[in-house]
Structure formats: structure tokens, C-alpha cells
Structure 1
Amino acid sequence: MGTAFCRKLASAGVDIFFTCWNADVEWPEVLRQEIIDLGVRCAYMEIDLSASTAAIELYAEVMKQLGQPTILINNAAYSTNNDYISLDVKALDDHYAVNMRSTFLLCAEFARAFAKADLPYGRIINLTSGQDLAPMPGELAYVATKGAISAFTRSLSRELAPLRITVNAVNPGPTDSTWMNDEVREYLLPQFPMGRIGTPNDAARLVAFLASEEAEWITGQIMNSEGGFIR
């Protein structure tokens, strides 16, 4: 989904800075060139967002390469299966470091820097996974840490409204990106009344709208864009 977000925003004239980790050697540079070919600036950084200093290091690099950003999209996620039998300290800490800590600290870095800049508006968009809507047994660490993003989004939106920064979260539902196989698709398809599974472009359209000037009156919302997905 991250690449879809980059392409969609770049096509609207937005400069892009993206992150990656353990990526194919050629892929980040291929994407960077693709974005540049759309007529905007683009840079990237390979960084482990589970590191305690990741948010500070990443934000410093963004400022160095492109200057003060006006849009922050927190799309990175860590996920393993953990039921009550397998749940342990390491599983919780691994999920917390990426899903919660990096997201929350990047939001704070963004807002602190934005408060010092003379900019008309800012946008923070966090990605969640529908933990507010139904149980996800067998994914306890994941649902706990991703669910926290919803609560954080709502409270942060109230704090940042005076700065003209909107803060929203998007739940794209099951999305057919690189993780699905045919077995998963066959299982999920009957649960989509529109007759297809969600694609990264579906999420990208909503993210692009929330990042736009037109979305200035929408903040503190958890937007479930799932094509009518039936749980």
C-alpha cells in the first residue's frame, strides 16, 4: 500500500519521502525514479523503525532532503500470530516498537516542527486494521498495538487542531497486496459484497483525499474503507 500512496500523492504534485527496510536492493531506487518521473522530488531512507531513535533520525533526514513536510502517513506495521499461549514479552515489545512507538513519536516530531513553521495546514494519517470492529483471535499483540493507534489518533487530533493539523486513521480492510495467496483470496472473496477484494489503490484514493486541502473539516476520525466487508 505504501507504494500506492506514494504514486497517488506524487500524481497530485506532492513531493515524496518514503522509508523501507530489508527491501530488495534495486526496488527503492526504482520507485524513487518512478516518482521523480511524475514531476516531483523524491527521496527515501532505509531504516529500522523498531529502533528507539528511529523517529528522530528519520525526521532529521526528511528535513535535510526535502524540508518541512506537511503530510505524514504512518503505514509501517509489524505482525506475527500470537494467541494467549504463545504471547510473551518479546512478541509484545516487537509489535509495540513499530506499531505504537514509531507511529506516536513520528506524529510528535511532525507536530513539534510544524508548530514552528508558517504553513497553512498539515495532515497526519495513520493506518489501522479494524480492531475496533471485530475480534481478531490469534493476533493478540497485533490487535493491541494497532488498536492503540485509534485511541491515539482521536486524542492527538484534539491537541493539534489549533495548529491546523488534521489527524485521522484509515482502516483499509483486507487488501490484496503482496501478502495474499490464492487460498486467502478464496476465503475472503465471499465476504466482499462488491465481488472483489480491496486493492492498494482503493486505500490510496482515500489517503490522498485526507491529505488534501479539501479534507480540512475531517479530523479525529477512524475511517473504515472496506468495500462493505462482512466479518
Structure 2
Amino acid sequence: MTHDLRKVAIITGASDTRDMGSAFCRKLASRDVDIFFTHWKADPDYIIALYKEIENLGVRCASIEIDLSDRNAARHVYESAVEKLGQPSILINNAAYGVNTDYHSFDAELMDNHYAVNMRSTFLLCAEFARGFEKSNLTSGRIINMTSGQDLAPMPGELAYVATKGAISAFTKSLSSELAPLGITVNAVNPGPTDTTWMDDSIRHSLLPQFPLGRIGTPEDAANIIDFLVSEAGAWITGQVIHSEGGFMRG
């Protein structure tokens, strides 16, 4: 297969072996998709190891270290991906920013910090991707925006996070209508509480009884739903917020 016929995916937020972004990279690379990923403040040895792991699957790999809160980050990410690997047909907005914010601590700076990564960077990268896709010869594209189930139940103490993640759900639904004529599907995925870098043993112990399947979700579980949505089997699904939570029970 020549490079200009290969599928290229942009995946944001792959900075640690335990995070979902890295799992997405591995999964799509195993499906013969070239991988361009972003990372920030990651261990350089890990980035080298991820490169080798992906390339050993027989695909190309490139990345950029970038602070997605920069107002020009989306353009830099997109242009770097095109320069290094060619026109992408898959975009997975996985990177997120989140710190505890209740009404006592809620202020402009905290809101701006969440907005810059969770909303502005995500939305602008979607637009960059769509404009480039429209000018290409590609006929089938996928955008997947990761969200957090904030519309299913209250998440007290996470006001800035839920506000910005909730905007992703609304944006996804409207963007899907605009991009459908281009052949691009746009969906959001809520993977539920997932055992990544934010979990410790006390959190795992607290959450486990709320999973009727008897275990906590893993990055690989999230990668499986991503794999389905970017495949031909997922071509008829667009404008949806998919809750893939393993039956997680709130309350």
C-alpha cells in the first residue's frame, strides 16, 4: 500500500503508557493506520518506546509535544500531521484538562484553563481537520471527541470540567450535521470511569462496586469502541454521544 492511500489518524493526549490516548494509538496502529499523536510533559523515554511499539506494527508514526492551551495549538497540530504523514482521515480529540473546581474555587482563571484545552483546542482542531478534508480526495472521515458522561448525573466539585465537557457534546451533534455531506462522521464517546493515570487504589476500591460487570473500565475498553467507530462497521453512526461504561451505576 502506498503512503498516499494509507489512513492517517491524529490522536491527542498520548503521554503515558496507562492513558487512553496511548491505547488508541496502539489499537489503530494494529489496524494498519498511521499514527500522529500529541503529548505534553511526557517522559521522553516513554515517547521513544511508544514510537517503537507503533512502528513495529508496520505503520508510520510521528508526534508533536505541544501545550494544547496555546491559542494556535490546533493549527500547529494539524499542519504538522499533514507535513509528516499526509492528510488525516481520522481525528480523535482525547486530551483534556481537569482540576477540582467547586463553587468556592470557581473563578475566571480556572474556567479559562479548562476552556482552552477542552473546548477551544478540540473545536478548532475539528475545524482544521474538516477544512483540510474538504480539499482532499478523501471520501470517508471520522471525528471522535472524548467526553465524560457529565450529562448523565451531577459531578459536584467538577464545575469547570463538566461545563467544558458538556459543550463538547453539544458541538459534536451540530458539527455532525455540517460534515455529513463531506462523508465525515462525528461522534462523542463517554468511556465512563477508566483506570488511567488519575486512579489510585482507594479510587478503584470505591468505584468497583458500581460496575456490575465486576471490574473497572480499562483504556483498552475505550480503544475498542474507538476501533468500531472508525471502521466501516461504524460508518452509519454520526451525531451520537455514546456511553460505553460497562453498566456503571451512579449514585
TM-score interval for Structure 1 and Structure 2 normalised by the shorter chain: over 0.9
Structure 1 stretches lacking a partner, 5+ long: none
For the pair 1:81 / 2:100, whether they are aligned, the reply is yes
For the pair 1:68 / 2:87, whether they are aligned, the reply is yes
1:33 to partner: Cα distance: 1.1
Q: CA deviation digits over 1:31-54, x for unaligned, max 9?
A: 011100000000010000000000
In structure 2, the partner of 1:130 is 149
In structure 2, the partner of 1:163 is 182
TM-score by length of 2: 0.91
2: distance between equivalents of 1:178 and 1:89? 27
- Percent identity between the aligned chains? 70
1:15 to partner: Cα distance: 0.4
1:167 to partner: Cα distance: 0.1
Q: 2:226 aligns with which of 202, 207, 215?
A: 207
In structure 2, the partner of 1:33 is 52
Kindly provide the amino acid, as one letter, of the partner of residue 16 in structure 1.
I
2: distance between equivalents of 1:70 and 1:98? 22
Q: CA deviation digits over 1:107-137, x for unaligned, max 9?
A: 0000000001111200000000001100000
2: distance between equivalents of 1:14 and 1:47? 22
**What count of residue pairs does the alignment treat as equivalent?**
231
TM-align CA RMSD: 0.5
- Alpha-carbon contact 2:139-2:182 (below 8 Å) kept: no
Pairs within 5 Å for 1:169-208? 169-208=188-227
2: distance between equivalents of 1:8 and 1:56? 25
1: distance between equivalents of 2:55 and 2:196? 23
1: distance between equivalents of 2:38 and 2:197? 17
2: distance between equivalents of 1:44 and 1:33? 12
Kindly provide the amino acid, as one letter, of the partner of residue 97 in structure 1.
A
SS in 2 for 1:8: helix
1: distance between equivalents of 2:60 and 2:44? 21
Q: 2:160 aligns with which of 138, 141, 149?
A: 141
2: distance between equivalents of 1:111 and 1:120? 12
Pairs within 5 Å for 1:5-44? 5-44=24-63
User: Runs (4+) of structure 1 moved beyond 3 Å?
Assistant: none
1:58 to partner: Cα distance: 1.0
In structure 2, the partner of 1:154 is 173
For the pair 1:55 / 2:54, whether they are aligned, the reply is no
In structure 1, the partner of 2:12 is none
Structure 2 stretches lacking a partner, 5+ long: 1-19
SS in 2 for 1:149: helix
1:158 to partner: Cα distance: 0.2
- Alpha-carbon contact 2:192-2:217 (below 8 Å) kept: yes
Kindly provide the amino acid, as one letter, of the partner of residue 236 in structure 2.
W
For the pair 1:93 / 2:116, whether they are aligned, the reply is no
